[in-house]
Amino acid sequence: MNKNKIKNLKRDLLNTISYNINYPLQKPETVSFLITHRCCLNCEMCDSPKRSLKNQKEELTLNQYLDIVDQLNKWKVKNILLSGGEPLIRKKDCLGIIQHAASLNFNTTIVTNAYLWNKKICEEFYKAGLTNFTTSLDGAKEETHDRIRRKKGSFKKVINSLKHLNQLKLKDNNPHFSLNCTTVIMKSNFRELINIYPLLRNLGVTNIMYQAVSGDYPELMMSEHEIKEFSDIVKELLKIKKTKGYISNLESYFNLLPQYYKAKIKGKAFRLGGCLAAYNSLIITPEGGIDICGFGPYNITLKDMKIKELWHSKEFQECRKRVKQCNRQCMYLCYKKSNVKDLIKNLIR
* 3-state DSSP assignment of residue 290: strand
Residue 189: what pLDDT?
99
Residue 342: what pLDDT?
58
Burial of 281 from C-beta contacts in 10 A (0-12 / 13-18 / 19+): middle
Between 18 and 52, where is the model more confident?
18
Separation CA 141–CA 136 (nearest Å): 13
Backbone angles phi, psi at 109, to 5 degrees: -130, 140
Residue 187 pLDDT > 60:
yes
Residue 337 pLDDT > 70:
no
289 forms beta bridges with 301
With CA atoms as reference, report the closest residue to 113 among 149, 166, 152: 149
Least trusted range by pLDDT, from 112-121, 136-145, 292-301: 292-301
Least trusted range by pLDDT, from 157-171, 190-204, 280-294: 280-294
If one counts the domains in the chain, the total is 1
Between 177 and 274, where is the model more confident?
177
Separation CA 342–CA 340 (nearest Å): 5
Confidence of residue 348 (pLDDT cuts 50, 70, 90): low
Mean per-residue pLDDT, 234-255: 96
The CATH number of the domain holding residue 287 is 3.20.20.70
Residue 290 pLDDT > 60:
yes
Residue 334 pLDDT > 90:
no
Mean per-residue pLDDT, 311-318: 93
Helical residues (DSSP H) of the chain, grouped into ranges: 3-21, 48-54, 62-75, 91-103, 119-128, 142-149, 154-172, 193-202, 224-244, 251-266, 307-311, 314-324, 340-348
Residue-wise DSSP of 210-276 = EEE--SS-GGGPPPHHHHHHHHHHHHHHHHHHHHH--B-S-HHHHHHHHHHHHHHHHT-----SS--
Please give the mean pLDDT across all residues of the chain: 91
Confidence of residue 94 (pLDDT cuts 50, 70, 90): very high
Quick one: DSSP state of residue 140? S
Residue 56: what pLDDT?
64
Quick one: DSSP state of residue 88? G
Separation CA 99–CA 91 (nearest Å): 12
- Residue 26 lies in domain: 3-348
Kindly report the pTM of this predicted structure: 0.93
Separation CA 192–CA 110 (nearest Å): 25
First-residue to last-residue Cα distance in the chain: 8
